[in-house]
Structure 1
Amino acid sequence: MRWLALLPWAALTAHTAVNALLLRRPGPAAASSERIAVLLPVRDEAERVGACLESLLAQRGTPDLTIYVLDDGSTDGTAEVVRSLAGDLAGDKVRLLTGAPLPDGWLGKPHACQQLADAVADAGVLSFVDADVVLEPEAIAAAVAELRRAGVGLLSPYPKITGAGRLVQPLLQWSWLTFLPLRAMERSPRPSLAAAGGQWLVVDAEAYRRAGGHAAVRTEILEDIALARAVKRTGGRIALADGSRLATCRMYDSWAELTAGYTKSLWASFGSRSGAGAVVVILLFLYAFPPLATVVLTSAGASSWAAIALATYLLGVTGRVVAARATGGRAWPDALAHPLSIVLFARLVARSFRLRARGGLTWRGRPV
């Protein structure tokens, strides 16, 4: 009977496996006849925007695609990089906009994205892309085809994440594969049942406007999830997809950058301090406690319970491997350190709330 204690871990790992099988995977698509606008907000991205823009210019199967770039007050020559790469295509294929000053009541990224959307007159699909994303040549066509095939208003194809943070970054995909019922999320009209990644979003233009665009989420630090909820709130549907074969995203180059990036937003991920505390405690119990319990129980001679604790740890590792395989991540040996990943995540959550309480959160030179 004591082996019944494994049920919560077994159920979560099984759910991860089911979601991995059900996860949408955009594949090769015929050329799209739709008018598509790719919207690229940039702020001090001179070192990254080149690779991103080159990949956008190399898109295939999208003959009616226009790239809109908004320079949001860069001071590092980002606009000059864009002009150089656009060359003769400037003004036609690539349109470089200068961002307006940030008004009161807006955060920077929602304001930049709204300005980009306002500059588009007649596109049927809007594809928001961050400057640290590099797309494969068929990526936009495949994502638009999947948007239409799924019949949703917003599709979030998660790129393959590279760069710093091998222990922490994969927790993003692992978390929604483990805890979020993907097909139920697509069918349910509940805005609370939503997830999205702002690195790359593909949105039906009509659904975007009906949701109020980024103006509806102007104060949200997690504007991607807030926009997905706004789409659902106004009658649209959303879907997640594995975009690891179509795009890569180098979010952070160092642990310091990752810490700053996570700290600015984690406080907004749980609804409240008490909600965050509950989630962190549950995660620590489920995934960080088992290896410690295995050692303690083995030392105490409780071999049966030690075996159960070891089995819970291995189930957690298995879930992490399944998530990595499903989303283009690195499975080994990283999955073995899953408990450490959870501990590091808990520390980042605590740091985020601490700095939020002190009013010390900033990003790209602006207060959060």
Structure 2
Amino acid sequence: MTVLMWVTRASLLAWVWLTFCQGGFWRTDQRLPPRPESARRPTVAIIVPARDEAEVLPLSLPSLLAQQYPGSARVILVDDNSSDGTGELARKLGEAPGSLPLTVTTPGEPPEGWTGKLWALRHGVELAGDAEYLLLTDADIAHLPSSLDSLVAAAEGGPARPGLPAQSYDLVSQMARLRTETRWERLIVPAFVYFFAQLYPFRWSNKAGSRTAAAAGGCTLVRREALERAGGVAAIRGAVIDDVNLAKAVKRGGGRTWLGLADQVDSVRPYPELKQLWRMVSRSAYAQLRHSVLLLVGTVLGLALVYLVPPALLLTGLAAGNLRLCVTAAAAWGLMAATYVPMLRYYRQPPAAALLLPFTAALYLLMTVDSAVQHWRGRGAAWKGRTYPAPSASATPSASSTPSAPSAASSASSPAGASEH
């Protein structure tokens, strides 16, 4: 029982540290600021990489074509060799009255060393001409009419005021609100974003000079000049987790980045069953661990200590009548649940669901292990008919922070569309 007591104390200390020293990761207050009336409205090209997206495109593309943006904007949909008529459908949707100008193009198969999404993005960036900003958004992401205007206004920032300097950003990203309509979506999705924020605290990422950098690939507005300074899309051409690597590249190039939760951006992709959510996470969880067995073992042990020990040893303490063990384990579980409640509220879920987080974490642990197994079998990072090997060190930027226990959550190469396109 002495050993169990020390393990429980270690778990409690981990939760004290996470709660108070991990950048307030559990807060949900990082949202786009109000639009400054004096902000410029420069030209924007909206680039949508799409591969076999005919099912969701009618729910997403019209929202982009209907953006109410005071400046000049156009939409470029890059049909990544779809077999379901994605390109033809996009052209029909672009004929709606009042739509923004739409270009539908196909880049051909990606060359060796490129992921399909990034090859499509590169093609879209080339077609964007001299647009000052590029909105990179997935084909399963729907935007409210003022979404683009709000993103650009946030990037431009407001004028300097007494005591407050002008503040602008080179990259502004929003983590789209994922669907939570089915039982499995309600169980898995809020934790998905919660774990991502734990690994990449938004406040740290948004702080100038911080080594932490992250973005959500489903909705990322980047200044063209900053992208070019970072080496362009080619700088991250082999990255499966492209959004985080893009933010790191922009930050290394001297740019400022911002990431927050979305109020005007939603994913329309359904994940009705556990198997779809499982694949969403497992397809790139091992890539986040840099394909390292040591990091995999550390992640599994960390998840077990932080999320599984408190409920397991609370039950053990109750069975053994050990009050100290019960109190310590309950305190750890209490901190875990308390930090999860804000994310549940953001997703309009009952706070009591926070008590299920250990079970959800156990699923993420299994998804992470499965991700490694699939990689060892040669089926890692597979999506829509393509499988990507582990990139070489020169293909993607090195990580600026070491993955911690919740690394499985960062498999959202676009947590808002946790999909390649």
TM normalised by structure 1 equals 0.90
Q: Cα deviation per residue 1:134-178 (whole Å; 9 max; x = unaligned)?
A: 111111111111122252221221111115533232233212443
Unaligned runs of 5+ in 2: 1-5, 158-166, 389-421
Does 1:240 find its partner at 2:240?
A: no
Q: 1:355, CA displacement in angstroms?
A: 0.7
Amino acid at match of 1:24: R
1:59-98 matched pairs, under 5 angstroms: 59-87=67-95, 93-98=101-106
Say if 1:198 and 1:360 are closer, same or farther in 2 by CA, change over 3 A.
same
Aligned letter for 2:283?
K
Which residue of structure 2 aligns with residue 200 of structure 1? 219
- CA distance 1:70–1:91, change in 2 (3 Å): farther
Partner of 1:353: 372
In 2 relative to 1, CA 331–179 (structure 1 residues): closer, same or farther, beyond 3 Å? farther
State the partner residue of 1:279: 299
Q: Is the 8 A contact 2:143 2:265 kept in 1?
A: yes
- The equivalences for 1:226-305 within 5 A come to 226-243=245-262, 245-253=263-271, 254-271=273-290, 272-305=292-325
The corresponding residue for 1:101 is 109
Query: For structure 1, which segment, 76-85 or 177-186, has the greater mean C-alpha deviation from structure 2 after superposition?
Result: 177-186
SS state at 2:307 partner: helix
Task: Report the Cα distance in structure 2 between the residues aligned to 1:345 and 1:90, rounded to whole angstroms.
Answer: 44
Q: 1:295 to 1:25 in 2, by over 3 A?
A: same
Amino acid at match of 2:213: A
CA distance in 2, matches of 1:38, 1:8: 42
Query: Is 2:244 the partner of 1:225?
Result: yes
Give the superposed CA RMSD. Answer: 2.5
In 1, Cα distance between the equivalents of 2:305 and 2:75?
A: 47
Q: Which has the higher helix share?
A: 1
Distance of 1:99 and 1:91 partners within structure 2: 24
The alignment partner of 1:304 has SS state of helix
1:214 aligns with 2:233: yes
The one-letter amino acid paired with 2:214 is A
Alignment of 1:1-368 (within 5 A): 6-14=12-20, 18-19=24-25, 20=27, 23-28=30-35, 30=37, 33-87=41-95, 93-149=101-157, 150-163=167-180, 165-187=185-207, 189=209, 193-243=212-262, 245-253=263-271, 254-271=273-290, 272-325=292-345, 327-328=346-347, 330-361=349-380, 362-368=382-388
Are the counterparts in 2 of residues 36 and 62 from structure 1 also a CA contact under 8 Å? no
Q: Structure 1 residues 227 and 346 mapped into 2: Cα distance closer, same or farther (>3 Å)? A: same
On the 8 A contact 2:56/2:268 being kept in 1, the answer is: no
What is the TM-score with the length of structure 2 in the denominator?
Answer: 0.80
Equivalent residue letter for 1:306: C
Note the C-alpha offset of 1:221.
0.7
Percent identity for Structure 1 against Structure 2: 29
Amino acid at match of 1:249: S
SS of 1:141's equivalent in the other structure is helix
| Cα separation, partners in 2 of 1:339 and 1:105, compared to 1, 3 Å | same
Q: Deviations over 1:97-123 (max 9, x none)?
A: 122222122111110111111111111
